[in-house]
């Protein structure tokens, strides 16, 4: 692994370890690039509502400032990138962008943890056999990719569909085809792989291989030691090669300035 663009910090309330330790772990693994992509803040319309798994808007200056300092300190040893992992919430996204554009952010990853505008309470990881929800996930994530603002699609198979396999395949293929046309890489998520979650889903990755999409490994590190795990990476590469997939080592970032 030469680059990992998916790492978190404790600001999201479910990650641990100082940023510096993530950088040190990346250096141990010989990574040449490390990207931080903590869960973005958001501005919600519902009074009193705030998701517990993301930083608050007022924490963003400290997040960016801390990483700018580390970038300077570690310059010449590793390239540090400052990004965010963001859901695409149609009603709330424009205001978020206005805020984010005030900061020198190198990229956004799409991580669609909830549907609609989150406050409706439809979460991608809740198992369902309802095709309408799968269709909603497909439509919403494709709309996000069409904005051209996302560098890659993190855990694209996060949606937990328990219904008919043929239905699943049809929706997945549509996502893969459009991502390929837009030249947006799909992430094989190493955290889900390590924790044996419902993703990465082999049924998804088989289609990715058939469609010939660009694929990148993402550590999704919520602890410094998870930035680079050579045994896990080897297992992931073996699984992917069975689907004819060879992940790319690096990607071009899309700054949101
Ligand atoms: Zn997380
Ligand atoms: Zn993540």
State the distance from the centre of ligand 2 to the C-alpha of 197, rounded, in angstroms.
14
- The residues, any chain, with a CB within 8 Å of residue 251's CB and separated by 6 or more, are 3, 5, 151, 152, 185, 214, 216
Q: For position 205, what pLDDT does the model report?
A: 98
pLDDT at 108 over 80: yes
Separation of CA 111 and ligand 1 centre (Å): 9
Q: Residues lining ligand 2 (ion), CB within 5 A?
A: 85, 220
Band (pLDDT 50/70/90 cuts) for residue 198 is: very high
What is the enclosing helix (H) or strand (E) of 189?
strand 186-189
Closest CA to 23 of 15, 11, 31, 12: 31
Mean predicted confidence (pLDDT) in 153-181:
98
* Residue 17 Cα to ligand 2 middle (Å): 15
What's the half-sphere exposure (Cβ side, CA atoms, 13 Å) at 255?
A: 9
Confidence band, pLDDT 50/70/90 cuts, at residue 83: very high
What percentage of residues in the chain have a pLDDT greater than 70? 100
147-160: per-residue pLDDT in tens?
999 999 999 999 99
Structure tokens at 122: 């439809």
CA of residue 182 to ligand 1 center, whole Å:
26
| 109, burial (CB in 10 Å: exposed 0-12, middle 13-18, buried 19+) | buried
* pLDDT of 121 higher than 90: yes
pLDDT for 256: 87
* Mean pLDDT over each residue of the chain, to the nearest integer: 98
Rounded Cα distance between 131 and 167, Å, is: 8
The alpha carbon of 53 and the centre of ligand 1 are apart by a number of angstroms equal to 7
Mean pLDDT score, 197-204: 98
Q: How far is the centre of ligand 1, averaged over its atoms, from the C-alpha of 170 (Å)?
A: 28
Categorize the per-residue pLDDT at 8 as very low, low, confident or very high, splitting at 50, 70 and 90: very high
Q: Residue 86: beta bridge partners?
A: 110
Q: What's the CA gap between 225 and 54, in Å, rounded?
A: 21
Count Cβ atoms below 10 Å from residue 43 Cβ, excluding itself: 12
> What's residue 257's pLDDT?
73
Distance 162 CA to ligand 1 centre (A): 23
Ligand nearest to the CA of 52: 1
Nearest to 12 by CA among 59, 54, 57: 54
* Ligand that comes closest to the CA of residue 158: 2
Reported pTM: 0.97
What are the two backbone dihedrals, phi and then psi, of residue 195, each rounded to the nearest 5 degrees? Answer: -90, 5
Centroid of ligand 2 to alpha carbon of 133 (angstroms): 22
Q: pLDDT tens digits for 17-54?
A: 999 999 999 999 999 999 999 999 999 999 999 999 99
The answer to whether residue 13 scores a pLDDT higher than 80 is: yes
Q: Give the integer Cα–Cα distance in Å for 138 and 95.
A: 23
Give 213-227 as a DSSP string. Answer: --EEEE--BSSGGGS
**At residue 87, does pLDDT exceed 90?**
yes
């Amino acid at each position: 692994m030469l680059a990992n663009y998916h790492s978190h910090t404790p600001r999201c309330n479910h990650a641990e370890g100082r940023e510096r330790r993530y950088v040190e772990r990346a250096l141990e693994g010989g990574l040449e690039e490390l990207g931080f992509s903590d869960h973005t803040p958001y501005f919600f319309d519902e009074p009193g509502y705030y998701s517990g798994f993301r930083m608050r808007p007022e924490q963003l200056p400290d997040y960016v400032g801390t990483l700018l300092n580390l970038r300077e300190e570690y310059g010449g040893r590793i390239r540090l990138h400052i990004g965010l992992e963001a859901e695409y919430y149609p009603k709330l996204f424009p205001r978020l962008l206005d805020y984010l554009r005030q900061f020198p952010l190198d990229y956004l990853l799409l991580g669609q943890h909830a549907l609609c505008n989150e406050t409706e309470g439809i979460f991608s990881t809740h198992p369902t056999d309802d095709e309408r929800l799968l269709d909603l996930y497909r439509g919403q994530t494709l709309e996000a990719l069409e904005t051209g603002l996302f560098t890659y699609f993190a855990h694209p198979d996060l949606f937990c569909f328990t219904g008919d396999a043929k239905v699943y395949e049809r929706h997945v293929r549509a996502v893969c085809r459009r991502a390929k046309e837009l030249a947006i890489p799909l992430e094989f998520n190493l955290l889900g792989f390590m924790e044996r979650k419902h993703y990465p889903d082999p049924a998804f990755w088989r289609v990715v291989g058939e469609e010939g999409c660009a694929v990148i490994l993402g550590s999704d590190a919520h602890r410094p030691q998870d930035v680079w795990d050579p045994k896990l990476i080897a297992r992931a590469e073996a699984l992917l090669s069975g689907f004819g997939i060879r992940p790319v080592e690096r990607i071009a970032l899309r700054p949101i300035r």
